[in-house]
């Protein structure tokens, strides 16, 4: 599998990090080794002192596709869930200052937590999906897919111009505002349309 991630897909998140709003999807990749095994706590890497959570809607690809038209894109989705794109913010800031790629800050081992997938029946065109992230019982992020700069279908169409999408691939569709740091002992819970789809502990 491959993990395709979209950066800066919510205007308010771009603003909170003082980033420009993009005119096309910003894409980066995480390797399969970035996947946090289900049920395992995340160990904060020694190379960062400012590890952040970023909660996102995640779609799983169900069939192979290349150069997929946006009108057909949702037919390629096998399920949706929430995920956490963990980011070593201090490392990322240093890379950005040097105009270097983000992978050291974004693609390290266990940097992607993915919840339990659910079918998209009843969720229509995915333009009206709500989700929240709780940290230690307090809501810290609230997302609504209507606020995406690039909706899910457009993301799939755009990504498939460059990468052949295959069954099992996961696409992180971007995080809303409210990202922040984690520390040992924190518990993060992702709530998708009122249903908890993941719980991640920070060790």
Cα–Cα distance for residue pair 115/158, rounded to 1 Å: 24
CATH architecture of 3-127+145-182: Alpha-Beta Complex (3.90)
CA angle 59-56-72, nearest 5°?
A: 30
The average confidence (pLDDT) of the chain is 94
Mean pLDDT value of segment 19-42 = 93
Mean pLDDT value of segment 98-123 = 92
E-strand ranges in the chain read 3-7, 26-30, 51-53, 55-61, 77-85, 87-88, 112-114, 130-135, 138-144, 170-172, 180-181, 187-192, 195-201
Nearest to 158 by CA among 2, 14, 5, 10: 5
pLDDT computed for residue 83 by the predictor: 98
- Residues sharing a CB contact under 8 Å with residue 37, sequence separation 6 or more, in sequence order: 110
Parse the chain into domains and list their residue ranges. Answer: 3-127+145-182
CB 28 within 8 A of CB 107: yes
26 has pLDDT over 70: yes
pLDDT computed for residue 120 by the predictor: 79
Cα–Cα distance for residue pair 107/127, rounded to 1 Å: 28
């Amino acid at each position: 599998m491959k993990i395709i991630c979209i950066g800066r897909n919510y205007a308010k998140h771009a603003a909170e990090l003082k980033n420009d709003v993009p005119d096309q999807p910003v894409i980066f990749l995480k390797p399969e080794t970035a996947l946090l095994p289900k049920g395992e706590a995340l160990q904060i890497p020694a190379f960062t002192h400012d590890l952040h959570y970023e909660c996102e809607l995640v779609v799983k690809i169900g069939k192979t596709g290349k150069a997929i038209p946006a009108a057909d894109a949702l037919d390629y989705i096998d399920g949706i869930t929430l995920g956490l794109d963990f980011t070593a913010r201090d490392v990322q800031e240093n890379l950005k200052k040097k105009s270097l790629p983000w992978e050291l800050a974004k693609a390290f081992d266990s940097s992607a937590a993915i919840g339990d997938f659910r079918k998209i029946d009843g969720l229509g065109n995915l333009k009206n999906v709500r989700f929240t992230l709780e940290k230690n019982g307090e809501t810290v992020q609230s997302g609504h897919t209507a606020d995406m700069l690039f909706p899910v279908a457009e993301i799939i169409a755009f990504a498939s111009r460059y990468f052949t999408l295959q069954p099992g691939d996961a696409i992180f569709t971007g995080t809303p505002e409210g990202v922040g740091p984690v520390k040992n002992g924190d518990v993060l819970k992702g709530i998708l349309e009122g249903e908890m789809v993941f719980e991640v502990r920070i060790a």
